[in-house]
A and B are shown apart, each in its own frame.
Chain A
């Protein structure tokens, strides 16, 4: 069964304190791993897509990496505006539906 597990469930950081969020997955034929950011009361906002092990993507203070079993979202010197829930999703192989399977997210709070 295709599955996505994110850890930790919640993370509190001081401003400038770097850390990483984890997304481990079990999927039959990965056709993409996606990171989204979700602010309270809003819809998920796309951050990155990773397709193959060893791939990395960066955007401002965020860097996403991918291995055959997991992905990490590294946050370098975070600011309070980085506070949000970060969602990981995978696109399983087979079919043409583009369906995404989501993890439950990591709630990140960055304190000034």
Chain B
């Protein structure tokens, strides 16, 4: 049982480049989330989805986009990368009605 799988684990981007962070879960969870974690800051919600085809913005959505075409996958797209997007990104999932979220291992992104 893999849980929540994120790829890649590490990535270095140049300013202005684009990339997609992949996230997949095999627990048949309805809800999926993307968070970013910066040193000394709590996890901040970027985008979330309550089911396939339904997404919405969290606290810090600017510079990101998401899609949810299947229950399992929830990719996060960075367009025109900026140094402010240097962070560790975590994908998570949970069952409807439960707050308990399961997290992936994270993607450490550096924009130079």
Contact = CB atoms under 8 A, between A and B. Distances in A.
Contact of A102 (B43, B96, B100): B43
Interface residues of B, number: 28
Contact of A43 (B41, B58, B103): B103
A43 B105 CA distance: 5
B74 interface: no
A44 B35 CA distance: 11
Interface centre among A4, A87, A100, A105 (most CB of B within 10 A): A100
A87 B103 CA distance: 13
Interface of B: 4, 31, 33, 35, 40-45, 48, 50, 56, 58, 90, 92, 94, 96-106
Interface of A: 4, 31-32, 34, 36, 41-46, 49, 87, 89, 91, 96-105
6 contacts: A4-B42, A96-B50, A97-B48, A98-B101, A100-B43, A102-B42
